């Protein structure tokens, strides 16, 4: 509702509950406007809740996502930081549209806007939904394969928050910072080492090990990274929509038993 998922917080909470989730977090991109509603929806379902967001960061010329869990969602430092990083999205979207027009796809900005719930948060996912609806591609994964990703028409490089800023916003407001789906960045071993080292130096404490964006081999690889870098482990579905997501809420395997789950680092933040 406030970023690029298609279900409401109430629908998500009841889906999570029905699927056996014990502790849930709504992690909108660069936005926490849905937190209060999500916490209330969780309470109505008898589901434990922890605040969440997924902050876009530029690191080594790549967009990296940093998940924050358990922060204070009313803290002005978090609200201001996220407001500032959302600021560039409108201009980027117009440039994406211009780029698509150069390959004969016209009116993509206006088309994407029809799918946008929060005017400050137009994302590539909204363009993808428009390109599917208008028949350019058969599904959103084809859109990302042919457009909107590095080297393809419609991709506009963008400078998001710094790694230091994102980790600081999360930790200074009482939360724990987590590197989201590291398997998705195609980093070299050196780049990945730099990411985990700098992340830890800024106060980051967790890595997503089991996620809808990882293969089972990547579960093992990033469980090893968690051990090597002494990071706690997180688990996230990356669920956006019943039609678009490979993995449903509550359907991922458990974290390896020897790793510390990130939420155990912030027990007082669980509601
Ligand atoms: P943005 O924040 O505008 O760059 O858009 C990020 C969104 O694009 C996230 O919700 C991702 O899940 C989605 N996304 C990025 N790459 C892909 C991909 N290859 N297939 C499907 N969705 C993707
Ligand atoms: Mn998303």
Q: Answer yes or no: are the C-beta atoms of 153 and 103 closer than 8 Å.
A: yes
Do 167 and 223 lie in one domain? The reply is yes
Do 117 and 171 lie in one domain? The reply is no
Do 180 and 208 lie in one domain? The reply is yes
Q: Return d(Cα 35, Cα 12) in angstroms, integer.
A: 12
CATH of the domain at 95: 1.10.150.650
Do 69 and 140 lie in one domain? The reply is no
Question: 239 in ligand 1 pocket by Cβ < 6 Å?
Answer: no
Do 226 and 103 lie in one domain? The reply is no
Do 163 and 242 lie in one domain? The reply is yes
Which of 124, 141, 212 to mutate to test ligand 1, by most ligand atoms within 8 A of the CB atom? Answer: 124
Q: Could you list the residue range(s) of the whole structural domain that residue 64 is in?
A: 53-86+159-269
Question: 124 in ligand 1 pocket by Cβ < 6 Å?
Answer: yes
Please state the φ and ψ torsions of residue 152, each to the nearest 5 degrees. -105, 155
Q: Is residue 166 part of a domain?
A: yes
Q: Is residue 222 part of a domain?
A: yes
Q: Half-sphere exposure of residue 109, counting CA atoms within 13 Å on the CB side?
A: 13
> Which neighbouring-strand residues pair with 236?
211
Q: Is residue 13 part of a domain?
A: no
Cα-to-centroid distance, 267 and ligand 1 (Å): 31
CATH of the domain at 74: 3.20.20.140
Do 77 and 193 lie in one domain? The reply is yes
Q: Where are the alpha helices (DSSP H) in the chain?
A: 9-18, 35-45, 76-86, 89-101, 108-113, 124-133, 140-146, 163-172, 189-201, 216-228
Per-residue model confidence (pLDDT) at position 97 = 98
Question: 86 in ligand 1 pocket by Cβ < 6 Å?
Answer: no
60: exposed, middle or buried (Cβ count in 10 Å: 0-12, 13-18, 19+): middle
Q: How many domains does the chain have?
A: 2
Q: Counting ligands in written order, which one lies closest to the CA of residue 5?
A: 2
Do 189 and 114 lie in one domain? The reply is no
Per-residue model confidence (pLDDT) at position 251 = 97
Residue nearest atom 17 in ligand 1 by C-alpha distance: 144
**Which atom of ligand 1 lies nearest, measured to the CA of 63?**
4
Report the Cα–Cα distance between both ends of the chain, in Å, rounded. 22
Q: What single-letter DSSP state applies at residue 254?
A: P
Q: Answer yes or no: are the C-beta atoms of 53 and 236 closer than 8 Å.
A: no
For the chain, 271 residues long, give each residue's pLDDT as a single digit of tens.
Answer: 799 999 999 999 999 999 999 999 999 999 999 999 999 999 999 999 999 999 999 999 999 999 999 999 999 999 999 999 999 999 999 999 999 999 999 999 999 999 999 999 999 999 999 999 999 999 999 999 999 999 999 999 999 999 999 999 999 999 999 999 999 999 999 999 999 999 999 999 999 999 999 999 999 999 999 999 999 999 999 999 999 999 999 999 999 999 999 999 999 999 9
State pTM to two decimals. Answer: 0.96
Per-residue model confidence (pLDDT) at position 124 = 98
Cα-to-centroid distance, 12 and ligand 2 (Å): 14
Long-range contacts of 131-137 (CB under 8 A, 24+ apart): 131/105, 136/105
Question: 125 in ligand 1 pocket by Cβ < 6 Å?
Answer: yes
Q: Is residue 197 part of a domain?
A: yes
23, 63, 88, 142 from 233: Cα distances, Å: 15, 21, 31, 31
Q: Return d(Cα 47, Cα 19) in angstroms, integer.
A: 11
Do 101 and 213 lie in one domain? The reply is no
Q: Return d(Cα 261, Cα 255) in angstroms, integer.
A: 8
Q: Return d(Cα 162, Cα 196) in angstroms, integer.
A: 14
Cα-to-centroid distance, 257 and ligand 1 (Å): 30
Q: Return d(Cα 24, Cα 224) in angstroms, integer.
A: 25
Q: Return d(Cα 141, Cα 212) in angstroms, integer.
A: 14
Per-residue model confidence (pLDDT) at position 1 = 77
Choosing from 146, 168, 187, the residue where a domain stops is 146
Do 81 and 96 lie in one domain? The reply is no
Choosing from 125, 146, 167, the residue where a domain stops is 146
Choosing from 146, 176, 194, the residue where a domain stops is 146
Residue nearest atom 21 in ligand 1 by C-alpha distance: 141
Do 102 and 173 lie in one domain? The reply is no
Annotate 79-115 with three-state secondary structure.
HHHHHHHHCCHHHHHHHHHHHHHCCCCCCHHHHHHCC
Q: Answer yes or no: are the C-beta atoms of 226 and 207 closer than 8 Å.
A: yes
Q: Counting ligands in written order, which one lies closest to the CA of residue 86?
A: 1
**Which atom of ligand 1 lies nearest, measured to the CA of 30?**
2
Q: Is residue 153 part of a domain?
A: no
Do 141 and 238 lie in one domain? The reply is no
């Amino acid at each position: 509702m406030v970023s690029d998922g298609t279900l409401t917080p109430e629908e998500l909470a009841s889906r999570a509950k029905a699927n056996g989730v014990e502790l849930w977090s709504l992690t909108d991109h660069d936005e926490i406007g849905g937190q209060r509603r999500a916490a209330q929806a969780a309470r109505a379902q008898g589901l434990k809740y922890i605040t969440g967001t997924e902050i876009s960061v530029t690191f080594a010329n790549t967009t990296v996502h940093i998940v924050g869990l358990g922060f204070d969602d009313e803290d002005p430092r978090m609200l201001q930081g996220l407001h500032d990083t959302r600021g560039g999205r409108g201009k980027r979207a117009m440039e994406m549209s211009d780029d698509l027009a150069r390959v004969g796809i016209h009116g993509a900005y206006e088309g994407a806007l029809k799918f946008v719930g929060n005017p400050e948060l137009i994302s590539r996912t909204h363009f993808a939904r428009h390109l599917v609806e208008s028949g350019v591609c058969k599904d959103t994964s084809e859109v990302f394969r042919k457009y909107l990703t590095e080297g393809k028409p419609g991709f506009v490089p963008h400078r998001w928050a710094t790694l230091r800023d994102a980790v600081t916003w999360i930790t200074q407001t009482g939360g724990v910072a987590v590197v989201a789906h590291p398997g998705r960045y195609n980093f070299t071993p050196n780049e990945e080492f730099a990411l985990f080292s700098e992340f830890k130096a800024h106060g980051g404490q967790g890595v997503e090990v089991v996620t809808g964006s990882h293969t089972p081999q990547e579960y093992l690889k990033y469980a090893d990274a968690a051990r090597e870098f002494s990071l706690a482990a997180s688990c996230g579905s990356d669920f956006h929509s019943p039609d678009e997501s490979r993995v449903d809420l509550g359907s991922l395997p458990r974290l390896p038993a020897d790793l510390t789950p990130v939420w155990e680092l912030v027990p007082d933040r669980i509601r």
